């Protein structure tokens, strides 16, 4: 028989684990249709920091509107979006490694071998950093079929 503590834990965890099975998820993490919180993905590489893009330099790609700081970044992204877009559509790399989708925050990022990875929080990024190589292998195995 399940005790109350285990029942409550399963109620909290089950929705996260089953999220992909409930309905098809968008291929890009977007809030209000804006990809990765409106941050210019190219600036992570150039500034090693999240830099807010502008709706003045917007581009629609993979079901979301991406913002950029200038026309040069927008055009570079448009020429080769897979080279500049974050891994896993901007969803949390740590969550993907565990088989579910989670939103991300701009400041929880890592660049590994030229690829941008985002995480749900700085604390989650610290956990992800403990064994990045294995986390990436596990997340790669789940992406993109986790979208449903």
Report pTM: 0.84
H helix count then E strand count, the chain: 7, 6
CA pair distance 105, 52, nearest whole angstrom: 12
> Band of the pLDDT at 15, cuts 50, 70, 90?
very low
Residue 55 has pLDDT above 80, yes or no: yes
* Span 73-90, average pLDDT: 97
- Which contiguous run of DSSP H or E holds residue 34? strand 34-35
pLDDT value at residue 140: 98
Dihedral of alpha carbons 22, 26, 32, 38, sign: positive
CA pair distance 66, 122, nearest whole angstrom: 23
């Amino acid at each position: 028989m399940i005790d109350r503590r285990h029942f409550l834990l399963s109620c909290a965890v089950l929705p996260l684990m089953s999220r992909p099975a409930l309905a098809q998820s968008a291929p890009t993490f977007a809030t209000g249709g804006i990809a990765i919180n409106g941050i210019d993905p190219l600036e992570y590489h150039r500034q090693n920091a999240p830099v807010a893009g502008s709706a003045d330099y917007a581009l629609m790609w993979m079901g979301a509107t991406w913002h950029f700081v200038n026309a040069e970044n927008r055009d570079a992204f448009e020429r080769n979006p897979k080279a500049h877009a974050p891994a896993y559509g901007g969803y949390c790399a740590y969550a993907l490694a565990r088989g579910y989708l989670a939103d991300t925050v701009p400041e929880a990022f890592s660049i590994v071998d030229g690829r941008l990875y985002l995480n749900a929080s700085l604390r989650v990024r610290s956990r992800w950093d403990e064994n990045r190589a294995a986390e990436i292998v596990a997340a790669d195995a789940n992406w993109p079929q986790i979208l449903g």
